Structure 1
Amino acid sequence: MKVQRIIDKQELEAAFYIRKIVFVEEQKVPLEDEFDEHDAYADHVLVYYDEKPVGTGRLRIVDNAAKLERICILASHRKYGLGKEIVKSLERMAKERGLAKVKLHGQTHAEHFYKKLGYQTASEIFIEDGIPHILMVKDISEHL
Structure 2
Amino acid sequence: MNKQIIVNQEQLELAFSIRKKVFVDEQHCPIEDEFDAFDDLTSPCTHVLVYYNEKPVGTGRVRQVEGKAKLERICLLKEYRKHGLGKEIITLLEEIAREMGCVKALLHGQTHAEGFYEKLGYVTTSDVFEEDGIPHVKMEKSFQ
Partner of 2:80: 77
Quote the offset at 1:107 in angstroms: 0.2
2:89 pairs with one of 80, 86, 89: 86
Identity of aligned residues (%): 60
Partner of 1:49: 52
Partner of 1:68: 71
Question: CA deviation digits over 1:102-142, x for unaligned, max 9?
Answer: 000000000000000000000000101111000000001x2
Quote the offset at 1:62 in angstroms: 1.1
1:1-144 pair list within 5 angstroms: 1-40=1-40, 41=43, 42-140=45-143, 142=144
Quote the offset at 1:38 in angstroms: 1.4
The structure with more helix, counted as a fraction of residues: 1
In structure 1, what residue type is equivalent to 2:50?
V
Please report the RMSD computed on the Cα atoms of aligned residues, expressed in angstroms: 0.6
Between the aligned partners of 2:104 and 2:19, the Cα distance in structure 1 is 25
Quote the offset at 1:64 in angstroms: 1.1
TM-score (norm 2): 0.96
Between the aligned partners of 1:131 and 1:34, the Cα distance in structure 2 is 13
Quote the offset at 1:82 in angstroms: 0.3
Gaps of 5+ in 2: none
Quote the offset at 1:86 in angstroms: 0.1
> How many residues get paired?
141
SS in 2 for 1:59: strand
In structure 1, what residue type is equivalent to 2:88?
E
TM-score (norm 1): 0.96
